Structure formats: structure tokens, C-alpha cells
Amino acid sequence: MRLPALKGRWPSPGGGFVLAGVCCLLAWCAAPQAGRAGQAIGAALDPCPRPAAGSALPQPVDLRSENGELRLDLRIRNARQKDGSVHYCYVLADGAQAPTLRVHPGDHVLLRLHNEIDNGQLAAADRLSPMGQSLCTTPPARTADPCASGAMGATATNLHFHGMTLQPVCHQDEVLKTSVPAGAPFFEYRYEVPRSEAPGLYWYHPHIHGFSSRQVQGGASGALIVEGLERSVPEVAGLPERVLVIRDQELLNPQAAPARSEPTPPKSLMESDGDALNNGSGFGKPAKDLSINFVPVPYPLYPPATLRMKPGERQLWRVLNASSVTYLNLAWLVQRRAQPLGVVAIDGVARQAAGGVPGGPLWTDHLMIPPAGRAEFIVEGPPAGNTGLLVTRSVDTGPAGENDPNRALAVVQADPQAPEPASRLPGPSASAAVPATDALTPLRQLQPVRTRRLYFSEKPLHPEDPNSPTEFYITVDGRPPKVFDPKAGVPDIEVHQGDVEDWIIENRSNELHAFHIHQIHFLVMDLSGQPLQEPFVRDTVNVPYFKPQMLSYPSVRLRMDFRDPNTVGTFVYHCHLLEHEDGGMMGTVRVLPRHRSKG
């Protein structure tokens, strides 16, 4: 029996690798359930229906807090498709998918999550974890304590509120032990949005270790907006806004040849699971298809989603890269010429000018957004009689990285009769008083209490075998590399609340990685030793890949901010290419209470 290759990302679970897989295939993993079990369901029954390629671009439903409170019931569901892929979705009681949650600093959120993942909609391979977890066990009991079970399996789920400075405790934003089994009662997430939370774009998604990639790639994600950006950036006051969630998925046409309009690309090199490796040409078969607000833009013709916009109208576009592995390099074209994008916020935080005060838009003609990154920018609609095109240009992910070629995402028609977007920011009169700047000293002006060095690396288990699984690591320098163990009780790093540290993150592999940390933001201080004057703080950043001709490993120096009291606790950092995270490229940091002075 040959086990299915899952991206070649199987770390070594000792001598039990084959036995564990066989056990899973022969036990509950292969046991069909009654009714629809094991069958791809028809479109009429699909709880996660998707628009057709080329459809008009829908906007996610807005759920807004009222009287300082946001309450909602959210269900996660799944459905196996005819091609064998599995859709996942967050749905409301009326079936609306992936609502945008809109809150204000200080609001109270009560989100009740119901896990309706159907084991019968999963094939045997869908239940195998890259970490070798839950292979020979039944799914966690419905009566198990979701706060303490730590059961990471294909039918379990939880929620991570990405970018938010919430406490890493159960019912708020804890992902190491919190695991909600399928069929269990509604699980409550309840928290207060910190009053210091920066207005901007955040998001929510599952974070079940070993299965995050499949659930997110299947579509389990949604936007979360902290209102008030217009008070920090007056240039956006009164603008219509659009929320654009870009996701990736398995290729709809994996056997298709590239379009004839493309230059002839080099021979396509494939990973063990069939994903296309980067060919360096900017063309050819991508590793994954993309969708925009669930409208698929499939290879090889990339029919874009469509939307209408008043000629010359300015809008604020809030773009979330909810892809599991795909990098974006966005450009806005009119008559094939790149138009300026007025970037006002990255990863949920407005641009910082000198002294840490909010600054105006930063104008650029393209914008790199790694998986999990967000960007908010001003665009101007095409002139009357013209169309605009939102595209993602190719990204050099390295010889071992996935192929992310040039492709279209959405075409915009200039139409004087275009309908108003569903949401508009408050006008200037409502935002005339710009809020006082945060009392905390800007990160750039602080000296770190210490500097740490970490590095990304990979190791094929059997270098002579092209289909060999690969182990993925993020390692504190001076320690041996190891795949992440969610059961380990000892954190990789300890800091104290109030500390500011510099972390140098090296990439010792030949593919691009995206470093992300929960609960905090950081400032990028330099790139491979070259100082940067970054006007944004981030929670996710690319780390360039290593080339043989380099004299040293490429790196980024990050000024890490552990000053917020909400950071006390244990949380994770990892590569946000979720196949890498699921394969072991993750570590933990424990933030201890602030040092108390003696006497």
C-alpha cells in the first residue's frame, strides 16, 4: 500500500510512519458514515457553494457591532467536491459565507462557534496529518473539554483572530490546546477588543496544527475590521470601501496546457503531490488557483471576476491574502499601465510617519502581500470608456518554492451607473478629531533588551528519493533543529512583558518563507544587514531565500514589541505558508509578567 503524498511534508514520526498510516486507513479514517458519507454532494446540497469563474464580484456580508457589542453564531462546514477537493466555509444561520466582522476598540465580542465538519466528506488522505497525529485514534469525544484537549485532528477546529492583540487564553486567542470537536455544543469566544487596537484589517481562520492548511485552503477564512481608520488617515474619510479576500485552492484544470498567449515556459517541475515548482519565468502552471471573494480565477485562462466602478472614483480597497501558500504581488492596471496605489495600512496598522504619528498614503505601483498579510490602499477608478485590471505579478519563491506566475484577478468596468459599494467610511465631519498618538515610545526609538537569532531550514528525509518527505524547522540559533511538538510544555523562547527585543530571522533554505507571530506586531529594521526605514509595523514578513553564491544567509532584523499586557501567556510564531507550519515550522514564546523591582 502506498500512502498518499501530502506535499512531501511528512516529518519523521520514528519507525511508526507506515504503521500509523496503515492503521488510520484501516480504522475509523476509512469508515464511511451514514447518509452522505464518503460521497461528493451535489451543488444544491453544498453548504459551501462558490460562484462561477468570471462572475460579478460579491461583497462579504457585514456584521457590525451595536451598542458596543457584536454577537453572532458561526458554523464551520465542509463538502467534498466531484474533483476530490474539500470546501470549507464559515456560515451564518441564513447560509451567508465568511461574514466581515466590524467592531470598534472597546467593543465586546461574543462569537459562538459550532463545528459541523462532516467526517464523511473527507477522504482517507484528508484525515492524515503531516505531523502523524490522530492517525490511530477515534476523533476527540464531544464531551472533551475544548480548552484543554489539544486534540488536533481532521474534524477538529478552533479560531485564531489574526493580528489582534488578544490574550492567548482559551475563549480568546489560544490555539495550542483549544480544540473544538465536531458535533460538540457551541463554543464561545468572548473578548473585549483592546482600546489600543489599531483600526484596520484583521482576519479570522482555523489554527488546528497539522490541518490548518487544508481548512484555510478549503475556504475557512473571513475578514475582521476594527473601525476608525479615517481618524488616523483623514485621506480615506468618506471613501467607499471594498473588502477583497484572496484565497488559493487546488487547480480546477490541473492537466491543462498553458494558454497559447503565454510565452513557452520551461518544463514544469512538480513536487511529489503535483504542485508546480517555481520555474523562474513568471508563467506556466501555478501551484494553486486563486479566487477573489470566492470567485475562482482558474488556470490556464484566468477569467477575472468583474465589478463596476464610477469613472475616476476613489475607493479604499482592503485586501486580505487568505491563501495557504500563495504570495501576491498586486498591481492596478489601466490601459496596461500600472496606476498608483495609495497604501494607508499594512497588517491592520496605519502608516507611521516620523515620531510614530500616523502618516498619509504611501504611493506605489505594486504591492507584495505574503500569505496572511493585509494591505489597505486607495485606488482611482478607470476613466470613462476604459477598464481597469487588478493583477498579481509573478513572485520569485526560489527553486524549491511554488510557482506563483502572472495572472489577472478582477476586471473593473468604468460605469457612471455603477451601484454604490455596500460600505463607506464616515465622512470628514465625523473624523475631524484625529486621536492622540499612542503613549508608547515608537519602536524605532527604543534599544532592544537583547538580540536573538532564529533560522528557517528544511531537510529531506531521503535526499536520494525525489518523492521523499521534507521536515520543516524554525530554530533558535545554537539549538538542534526539530519539528514543532504541540505537546511540548517548554517554550522555545521566554521574554517578559514590557521587553522590546530584536530577532534576526535567517533563511537557510532555497525557498521563500513568511515569518509570522501571534499577539504582537514588529518593525522591520534591516534586510540582510541593510537598514530600512519601514513606515509600517507588521505581523507577517517575507524572508528571502538562500542562493549558493551568497556569502551569508539572507535575513530580516525585527524589533519585537512585547509591551502590551495582553501578550502575557504562551503563543506561537511560524512560517505562514501553512503547509510548512503544519509540517513543523513553528515555535512557541512565553511572555512572563513584567519584572517587579525589589524593595
- Residue count of the chain, please give it: 599
For residue 273, the model assigns a pLDDT of 67
Q: Are strands 295-297 and 289-292 parallel, antiparallel or unpaired?
A: antiparallel
DSSP secondary structure of 310-370: -TT-EEEEEEEE--SS--EEEEEEETTEEPPEEEEEETTEE-B-GGG-B---EEES-EEE-
- Determine the distance from the C-alpha atom of residue 212 to the mean position of all C-alpha atoms in its chain, rounded to a whole number: 10
Which homologous superfamily does the CATH classification assign to the domain defined by 14-227?
A: Cupredoxins -  blue copper proteins (2.60.40.420)
**76 close to 88: Cβ distance less than 8 angstroms:** yes
Q: Over its length of 599 residues, how does the chain's per-residue pLDDT go in tens digits?
A: 222 333 333 233 233 322 233 233 222 233 333 333 334 444 457 899 999 999 999 999 999 999 999 999 999 999 999 989 999 999 999 999 999 999 999 999 999 999 999 999 998 888 876 644 443 344 556 667 999 988 889 999 999 999 999 999 999 999 999 999 999 999 999 999 999 999 999 999 999 999 999 999 999 999 999 999 999 999 999 999 999 999 999 999 999 998 888 888 777 787 766 788 998 999 999 999 999 999 999 999 999 999 999 999 999 999 999 999 999 999 999 999 999 999 999 999 999 876 667 788 999 999 999 999 999 999 999 999 999 999 999 999 999 999 999 999 999 999 999 999 999 999 986 544 444 444 578 999 999 999 999 999 999 877 777 567 788 999 999 999 999 998 888 999 999 999 999 999 999 999 999 999 999 999 999 999 999 999 999 999 999 999 999 999 999 999 999 999 999 999 999 999 999 999 999 999 999 999 764 43
Q: How far is CA 396 from the centre of its chain?
A: 19
Q: Are strands 530-531 and 500-507 parallel, antiparallel or unpaired?
A: unpaired
Q: Alpha-carbon dihedral of residues 129, 133, 136, 141, nearest 10 degrees?
A: -110
Q: What topology is assigned to 445-592 in CATH?
A: Immunoglobulin-like (2.60.40)
- What does DSSP say about strands 513-517 and 540-543: parallel, antiparallel, or unpaired? antiparallel
What is the dihedral sign for C-alpha 167, 173, 178, 181?
positive
Residues contacting 572, CB < 8 A, separation 6+: 175, 176, 517, 518, 586, 587, 588, 589
Residue 498: its pLDDT value, please?
A: 96
CA-to-CA dists, residue 530 to 282, 291, 534, 544, 557, angstroms: 27, 36, 12, 13, 10
**SS3 of 231, please?**
helix
Q: How far is CA 10 from CA 130, 156, 540, in A?
A: 5, 20, 25
Separation in Å, CA 370 to CA 179, 190, 234, 323, 325: 27, 29, 27, 9, 9
- CB hemisphere CA count around 365 (13 angstroms): 6
Q: Which residues contact 380 (CB under 8 A, 6 or more apart)?
A: 312, 313, 314, 339, 340
**CA pair distance 503, 562, nearest whole angstrom:** 12
Residues of the chain with CATH 2.60.40.420: 14-227, 271-430, 445-592
| DSSP-derived 3-state class of residue 424 | strand
- Domain spanning 271-430: CATH 3.40.50.300: no
For residue 592, count CB atoms less than 10 angstroms from its CB and return exposed for 0-12, middle for 13-18, buried for 19 or more.
middle
Q: Check: CB of residue 104 under 8 Å from CB of residue 193.
A: yes
**Which grid cell sits at 52?**
462561477
For residue 448, whether the previous peptide bond is cis, meaning omega lies within 30 degrees of 0, is no
Give the Cα-Cα-Cα angle 466, 472, 474 (nearest 5 degrees).
Answer: 155
Q: How far apart are CA 278 and CA 512, in angstroms?
A: 11
Q: Which residues contact 191 (CB under 8 A, 6 or more apart)?
A: 108, 109, 166, 167, 171, 172, 173
Beta bridge partners of 560: 501, 522
Set of cell numbers at residue 513: 518563507
- For residues 59 and 236, give the distance between their C-alpha atoms in angstroms, rounded to a whole number: 19
β-pair type (374-380, 289-292): unpaired
Number of other CB atoms surrounding residue 52 within 10 Å:
8
